[in-house]
Amino acid sequence: MELKETILEGTLKAFNEKGLKFTMDDIAEKLGMSKKTIYTVFEDKESLFLAMVDYLFDSIKESERQVVEDKSLTTLEKVRTILCVLPESYREIDFRQLYLLREKYPRIYGRVEERLETGWETTIALLEQGMEEGVLRPVRIPILKMMLEAALEQFFQRDILLRGGISYVDALDEVVGILMDGITLHD
């Protein structure tokens, strides 16, 4: 694993333990390296955080690719899986504190929003395939996309998950379940 990736993995661990209050000292301690080493790769906490957002979303895209290539899954199973895909190593991370991002780190929040709203090509192709196969009823994809994006953005804007004692993974599964069961054809 290259140094940048090692630092990003350490950052995810520090974030999971301390939320947005993690420090460069926390990361250095987790990784058994000096802060100076971290600063040779990342200028400051914000640039580290921006890189972490991209790293996380890139990992999600890689997981999506694996789902699409999985020949054992039906189109319907692929759609359901891809809509709530999170790499296994991130399923334990507590994303519920991300609602604080908007206020404390607006630039990072902007990157999260941007990444949520882009990269839908694979998902859209699967939805279209499902409609062509007749396993999904025809829906306007931009509306479905907006509904899912809006739900996820609400998780990142409010403390609804923390107050409800709901994990991010469970909330995502619930949203996808509601959307899928609403668009799945029944015999």
CATH of the domain at 12: 1.10.10
Dist. CA 24–CA 131, nearest whole Å: 48
- Answer whether residue 137 is part of any domain: yes
* pLDDT number for residue 50: 92
Same domain, 9 and 75: no
One domain for residues 93 and 155? yes
Residue 112, pLDDT above cutoff 90: no
Tokens of 152: 């996820």
Same domain? 23 vs 64: no
Q: Which two tokens stand for residue 93?
A: 């991370």
Residues 150, 70 share a domain:
yes
pTM above 0.75, yes or no: yes
Looking up residue 158, the CATH number of its domain turns out to be 1.10.357
Residues 79, 147: one domain?
yes
Q: Examine residue 51 and state whether it is found in any structural domain, yes or no.
A: no
User: Which residues are within 8 A (CB) of 59 and not within 5 positions of it... i.e. 6 or more apart?
Assistant: 87, 89, 90
Q: Do 81 and 16 share a domain, yes or no?
A: no
Q: Check if the beta carbon of residue 99 is closer than 8 Å to that of residue 109.
A: no
pLDDT digits (tens, 9 = 90+) for 10-62: 998 888 888 888 899 999 999 999 999 999 999 998 899 899 889 988 988 89
Residue 111's domain spans which residues? Answer: 56-183
The reported pLDDT for the residue numbered 136 is 93
Q: Is residue 108 part of a domain?
A: yes
Let me know: does 96 contact 144? Beta carbons within 8 Å.
no
Query: pLDDT (tens digit, 9 = 90+) per residue, 133-150?
Result: 999 999 999 999 899 888
Residue with more model confidence, 77 or 112: 77
Are 119 and 165 within one domain?
A: yes
Most confident of 8-17, 88-97, 98-107: 8-17
Question: Is the same domain home to 72 and 135?
Answer: yes
Residue 91: which pLDDT band, with cuts at 50, 70 and 90? low
Rounded CA separation 81/67 (Å): 7
Which two tokens mark 163? 């107050």
